[in-house]
Amino acid sequence: MDFGLSEEQRRIRERAAEFADREVAPNAARLDREDRVPFETLEKLAEMGFVGLCVPEEYGGAGADFVSYCLMLEELSRADAGVGVTLAVHTSAGTMPILEYGTEEQKARWVPDLAAGRKIGCFALTEPTTGSDAAAIRTKAERVEGGYRITGHKQWITNGRIAGTAIVFARAEGGNTEGPTAFIVSTDADGVSFGKHAKKMGVISATTDDLLLDDVFVPEEDLLGEEGKGLKVALGTLDPGRIGIAAQATGIAEAAFRYATAYAAERETFGKPIAEHQAIAFKLAEMQTKIKAARLLTLKAAWAKDKGMRVTEAGARAKLFASRTANEVAYDALQTLGGYGYMKDESPVERYYRDARVTEIYEGTSEIQKLVVSRGILREYEESLEAPGGVPQGRSVVG
């Protein structure tokens, strides 16, 4: 077993950390107050090659592996979780589905602009009445000559109004197969508009908007995958996407832990730093241990993806644990600071606390992750019964 990073992975992490400390963290509180997307930061990230970090070089990306991508996301999210999720959704949900399910023509036409940051991607699945039950979407795609006409309302779309392309899911009607179907849609198309801008509890520097589609014509060549097979695209996109959110959650937890540690080392009560009081010392020990475990689960899942392994359960486990860790560590960090942690203008910890909460909700709630993992456990058990002798082997698999 080798837990070391390659020279390239270390270099990417160091570049991301330096950029996060210099360009992202100093602006995070202001962006949170102003509810503003840092376009200037996204432009600099594009110049550094980070917007298309794990996109193959042949399509204009940097060609790095998924481990490097997760290392970058953790560092950026440590500085501003909103910047982290903007990049995560653009890459994992807005670009990778085209690479995974698109034709060569689609990859050549759509991906270079996304990899270079000339366009930002988004993923339009959730609707006002549909979240975890993706099969129940109501957006309709009517089959017409030369393509489809899409009409529907998508809700809480990260990157919504700043996106140039959207992976849109609609229920095909009038075609050979009725059911959820995936499409690549330009947000410049006639009939595309944006509705309500969400006023969120956290990750405020990442815009979240309603996407409205009114009789939008999508040509046949922009069908992503097969008609009626959109759930395959959606679920296949969420698997690696959850690993990215696990990296984001780990970054939030790391930020909260670092601030709490620095505060505890300097704040004195009863003649000594509070870090020397057992109540705080043990709290710091628990926080760090959880973060290290979350990071290992996340990087193991990313490594498995790079190896071409199934990552459905691995991604779910990483997100389940890392998102819980982010919430618990942010809570303990706030408790360590006491009143200072509760005040917006005294420390960034209350922002970390707010940012952490959504990591247990988007890209599949924690309850959905438990469902995914538990189904994997039963599948593994059934497979073990088919092993020689029919005796459960008790093995633990990566994916």
Residues tagged active-site: 363
CA angle at 48 for the pair 43 and 50, rounded to the nearest 5°:
85
Please state, in angstroms and rounded to a whole number, the distance separating the CA atoms of residues 297 and 244: 12
Q: Which helix (H) or strand (E) holds 292?
A: helix 278-306
Beta strand spans in the chain (E): 121-124, 140-144, 147-158, 165-173, 179-186, 192-197, 208-219, 223-224, 268-269, 272-273
| ∠ Cα 120 126 128 (to 5°) | 125
Backbone angles phi, psi at 96, to 5 degrees: -60, -30
Task: Let me know if 146 is exposed, middle or buried by CB neighbors in 10 A (0-12, 13-18, 19+).
Answer: exposed
d(CA 95, CA 305): 16
Which of 217, 245, 202 lies closest to 89 in space, CA to CA?
245
Residues near 170 by beta carbon (within 8 Å), at least 6 away in sequence: 137, 139, 140, 141, 148, 150, 152, 180, 181, 183, 213, 230
Classified as helix, coil or strand, 399 is coil
Beta-carbon-side half-sphere exposure of residue 48 (alpha carbons within 13 Å):
20
Structure tokens at 332: 């303990």
Which neighbouring-strand residues pair with 147?
144, 219
CB atoms within 10 A of CB 279: 9
The DSSP secondary structure of 73-125, one letter per residue, reads HHHHHHH-HHHHHHHHIIIIITTHHHHHH--HHHHHHHHHHHHTTSS-EEEE-
Q: What is the DSSP letter of 203?
A: -
